[in-house]
Each structure stands twice: as structure tokens, then as C-alpha cells.
Structure 1
Amino acid sequence: MLVTGAGISTAVDNLTFVVTIPPGFERDMLKGLRPTVQLAIDATAMMQAGIGAQYIQQIFTEEAAKHLRRDKGQFLSRSQGLPRTPVTLSVRIAFNPNVTTSWFTGIMAIINNVTMLGIIMTGAAVVREREHGTMDHLLAMPLTPFEIAAAKIWANGLIITIAVGLSLAIVVQRLLAVPIAGSVPLFMAGVVLYLLFSTAIGIFLATVARTMPQLGLLYLLVAVPMNLLSGSNTPVESMPAPLRVIMSLSPSTHFVAYAQAILYRGADFWIVWLRFLLVGAMGLGFFWLAILRFRRSAAMQAG
């Protein structure tokens, strides 16, 4: 939270609550003029925004009443002579004024499904090849393990990218009528970058699982916690500090962050470039580990 007396001059991506206290606030309160304090809220995570607004109102009310009792006695209404609350909360919602839940959950569902489809489709492509015996045919061909794995990744990644684009255009923008504030091509570029990571996880899990049921169980252990703690369901700021540090190492957290910044708040590339860089670096690193694991698994199967 940022408290300032000069107003909000720039948009900061990582601020949720901004309190603007006008000049002469204490003087006007002591005179009984009831000055106004502005509370700007980034309501991308609606649950956190609602709870935080109530907490901030309570803090201001208690602190103002305590200060007035100490300096001037009981704060009374001029007309009725009755105690009154020195601070009241006036809510003015600039985005999503009707608080339509589908505006948030619709886009977050697409983001969560990118992780799910990237892992399951790529992992299933490898596991089913092994179950049907066609993996032996591929290994007998003049193909390297890298080429086999890369073919699974780009083919499934292309299908998922097309599905995300159609879902965003048809379901989110047309059927749900969700206003998109930012650049859709920039968001789609972020989806492609994140798919490098999620499809690499599918390849990696496919080298561990021997059957489709085993792949399903591994997916539950890996992807479900990653989705729940990425910020799409529970705000990262509401998590304990050690858990926030752990989740900062997951590309899914940065993917959710820049997707929300682009689609909800209209962020451009120069605002989210660092998160793009982190997702790309982590995705390449895990892709390299997945290829090493797949190469070792293919060598054991060929031998």
C-alpha cells in the first residue's frame, strides 16, 4: 500500500491499494469538516480488494477516532450533537462496475487451461507412442530425441495457441462481453512463450510415467498446486512470505501476472518485459532438462 499526499501520478503494476491523503487533512478533521481521503484499488483480485477496502476503512476509522478523542474530545455532529464516524467509505468502481464475476474467472479459466492442456496433450502424445509401440519405430528412424520431442511440443503448442485465440475472441469477448484493455497479440505472444514451459513439463512427466493413469496422477501432483498458487485463484499477496518466494520460481506465477496486466490494465511490453524474460529463461531451462531426460529415456528404450 502506498500513502501519499500529492495524488497518483504514475501507474505501478505491483500496487493493489493507493491511499491519497489531501493537504491539511488533520486540520480539517479538527475543525469538523470531514475531509475526503481517496482509496484507489486494483480490483483484479476481487476477493483481496474487497477485504482490503474494509480493513483500510476500519484502520482509518479507529485511528482518526483515537486521535480526535486525544486532541479534542468526542467528535460530535454539529447538527445533532451525536457521535459520528469520522471516516466513511465511498466505493466508486472504475472497471467492472457491476462486479461481474465472469469477467475475471473467464480469462483465468483460459490461463489455467493453457497449463493443463500443455502438460496433458504433450505428455499423452509421448506416453501413447510408447504404449502402442510406435516409439520404437521413431527411434529406428534417422531422428534424434530432440527432433522427436520438439515435434511433440510445437504441434501441440500450435493447437493450444489456436484454441486460446478462439476462446478469447468468441467466448470471452463476444459471449461474455469482457472488455479487453490491452493488446491481444502481446498476450498471445506471452501464451506461446509460456507454452515452451508447460509442454516441456509434459515431456518430462512422460519420461517418468509409464502409462496414462500414472501421467494423470503426476499431473495432479504438479499442475494443480501450480494453478492454485499462481495467482489466478488466490492472490499471491495473500500467501505467506515463504510460499511467495517459492512461487516466484514458477513461470505460471509470472504468466498469470503479465496476462492480468495486459488484458485487464492495458500494460504494454515495456511494463511486462521482465516477466516475459523470466518466463522465457525458466522455460528454456526446463526444456533443456526435459530433452536430457527424454534422450536418456529413449536411449534406455532403444537399448
Structure 2
Amino acid sequence: MRWANIFNLGIKELRSLARDPMMLFLVVYSFTAAVYTAATAMPETLNRAPIAIVDEDRSPLSARLVGAFYPPSFVAPKLITAAEMDARMDAGLDTFALDIPPNFQRDVLAGRQPTIQLNVDATRMSQAFTGSGYIQQIVGGEVNAFAQRYRAAQVLPVDLALRARFNPELNKGWFGAVIQVINQVTMLSIILTGAALIREREHGTIEHLLVMPVTPAEIMTGKIWSMALVVLAACAFSLAFVVQGLLSVPIEGSVALFLAGAALHLFATTSMGIFMGTVARSMPQFGMLLILVLIPMQMLSGGMTPRESMPELVQYVMLAAPTTHFISLAQGILYRGAGLDVVWPQFLALAAIGAVLFSLSLARFRTTITDMA
């Protein structure tokens, strides 16, 4: 391969991208607004959950329970009647509806075990799962304090010393911001390279390249380095100005080492994008193929769910995906401050997977070029 041809072909791809405002908007949005939204959209704890209370007891204890639900975890409780409870939940007005029965305080003081009904709108999964536990703790704590005439913390026989490593505040925003950057690197690299190839086929410029003194390997390599450079630069910008600057997320390890790993990952994913661009015949087909490939890669690579909790067959199969090793090294470097002595197996795996994908994509690209010729 002639490096001058590769360089010039890459410059051509960069100029073509600069003339595509929608692709430029996608790149900018993916590494700025999308990262910020992913870090801030999901609250760290239960936040402003709507709750309604049916107080059929009208006692000091029931009034104490009503007053125990307050912002920011809950909105101010709405006092309703039993007849309104089902209708309000059917209309989606309340996530929780608490029914305090008659004679509730009398039964508590008499040593009986009265039942409080809690209706939960389970279609709101995040609030339903977390909020039901919150409500049980609140109700139990208030009833015990009322019955014992004092409020005291339960003394456990063992003192558990909790130390949260790498994220002492247990801030979900820290995780959401970094993992979003990692996911955007994979998505954008596949989209940009595959779209660049399909765009040339649709515009007829691929035929112009065939009559020039360039080889398929040079054409493909020019697309890979140029699109990888765009994604790598956007990733570095996002880490510096959005993650560390705007969101104040601490980065423990070396950003340069992470970008080196990202470059190896981009070598694999851009090659994958070229392969998918040769399979798809149009942008709609490429979009459908992207959904079938990208979503399983992101969901099963350990970024959203730990790989150890997945079936063993899935764990072994996903070792062939570059995202598995990229997420592992990215989390090790950015979260835990790991060095090359720790993440070198992931670097080696990415290099091997990238070489295989590049070879397969080049063979497919040559076949496509020959058919067009």
C-alpha cells in the first residue's frame, strides 16, 4: 500500500464528512448532549414520586405516616378517598397509593398486626422497585417509633464497615457519563465508516475510485483512519469538557492510555462498519443491520450488566466482540486507574480481533469492488 494514497483518500473522506451537516450534528450531539443526558436523566435515588394516601383512621399515627412522605423522594401526598384510588392509578396520576385502614392506631397499640395496603403502578419500573422499599421502611420506622414512644436506631450485633471503592458517593451520574462515551465510540465508528461507503455507492463516486491507481486496501484504510480520527477526537473532547468539566466526574487513570485502547477498538469497529456497508445496499438497510448488531453488542458486553451475571454461553460468545474487551479496559483505566500492566490482555485481544475483522472486511470489500467493476 502507498501511504500517500491512503493519506489523500482519508483527507477526501474528512472533506466529504465536513459537507454532511447531519453526520456532523450526530457526532457533536452524541459526545455532548447525549453524554450529559445519560449522566443526569436517571436520578441517583427515588425522586418526586407521586403518592396518594387514603386515611381511613384519622388518628395521630396516620397523620404521622402522612407527614413522613416529603420531597425530594416523594411529592406532597395527595389525600384521597378509597373510591378515587383505583381511578387515579388507572389514569396514571399516582405511582403509589397507600390505604390506612380504620382503627389502625388502636390495633397497633393493642399489639395486633393491622395491615396497610400499598398499591404500586409497576409499569413505572424504576420508581416502583425502589419506592416500594422506601415506603416499607418509612411505614415500619414510624409505626415502631410511635409504639415505643421514642425513636432509636437498631443496634446490630455486627458492625459493618462500608467502603465504596472508586465511586464513594455512589453517584450514578459518574457511571452514566463514562459508559455513554464508551458506547458512543462504538456506535459512531460503525455508522461513519458504513455510511461513508454507502454514500459513495449511492453518489456513484466509487466508480471514479476504481479507475484511479489505488487499491481496495488503500481505499478501505483511508476510510478507516479518517473516521477513526474523527471519533477519537470527539471522544477526547467529551472526556475533557463534558465528563470532567461540565459533569465534574473524576477520571482516575491515564486518558492517553484510554485513547490508545480506543484507537485499537476503533480499528476493529471501523472495519466492522466497512463490512456492514458492503452487505447493506442502502442506508435504510444499513440502519436495520446496525440495530441488529449494535444493541446486542452494547447490552451483552458488560457495560450495562456485569458479564458474570450472564449465562456462560453468552460470556464465551461475547469474547469475540471488541466491545467486551474495550469496556473492560475502559472501566479499568477510567474508573479504577489501571495501568498497562493490568489491561494489556484487553489491548492484545482488541489488536487480534481488529486484525481478523480488517481481513474479513477487506476480502468482502474486494469482492464488492470486483462485482461493481
- Structure 1 runs not aligned, ≥5 long: 1-83
Match of 1:155 among 226, 239, 242: 226
Match of residue 229 from structure 1: 300
Provide TM-score, normalisation by structure 2: 0.57
Q: Is the 8 A contact 2:166 2:336 kept in 1?
A: no
Match of residue 311 from structure 2: 240
Distance 1:94 1:226 in 2: 27
Residue type matched to 2:252 in 1?
A
Counting matched residue pairs gives 220
Residue type matched to 2:175 in 1?
F
Residue type matched to 1:292 in 2?
A
- Structure 2 runs not aligned, ≥5 long: 1-154
Distance 1:124 1:107 in 2: 26
Match of residue 65 from structure 1: none
Residue type matched to 1:118 in 2?
S
Deviation at 1:85, TM superposition (A): 5.9
Residue type matched to 1:114 in 2?
V
Match of 2:356 among 249, 267, 285: 285
Match of residue 112 from structure 1: 183
SS of 2:162's partner is coil
Match of residue 256 from structure 1: 327
Residue type matched to 1:250 in 2?
A
Match of 2:206 among 115, 131, 135: 135
Residue 266 of structure 1 pairs with residue 332 of structure 2: no
Distance 1:251 1:216 in 2: 20
Residue 298 of structure 1 pairs with residue 369 of structure 2: yes
Residue 207 of structure 1 pairs with residue 278 of structure 2: yes
Match of residue 43 from structure 1: none
Match of residue 170 from structure 1: 241
CA RMSD for the aligned pairs?
1.5
Residue 180 of structure 1 pairs with residue 251 of structure 2: yes
Deviation at 1:279, TM superposition (A): 0.7
Post-superposition CA distance 1:91-130 (Å, at most 9, x none): 2324322211110110100110111011110000000100
- Decide which structure has the larger Cα Rg and report it: 2
Distance 1:269 1:97 in 2: 24
Residue 126 of structure 1 pairs with residue 197 of structure 2: yes
Residue 217 of structure 1 pairs with residue 288 of structure 2: yes
Residue type matched to 1:247 in 2?
M
Distance 2:165 2:303 in 1: 21
Distance 1:94 1:144 in 2: 51
Distance 1:199 1:114 in 2: 10
Residue type matched to 1:232 in 2?
G
Residue 191 of structure 1 pairs with residue 249 of structure 2: no
Residue type matched to 1:112 in 2?
N
Distance 1:294 1:151 in 2: 13
Match of residue 106 from structure 2: none
Deviation at 1:241, TM superposition (A): 1.0
Post-superposition CA distance 1:38-66 (Å, at most 9, x none): xxxxxxxxxxxxxxxxxxxxxxxxxxxxx
Distance 1:94 1:271 in 2: 18
Match of 1:92 among 152, 156, 163: 163
Residue type matched to 1:241 in 2?
E
Distance 2:369 2:186 in 1: 25
SS of 1:163's partner is helix
SS of 2:210's partner is helix
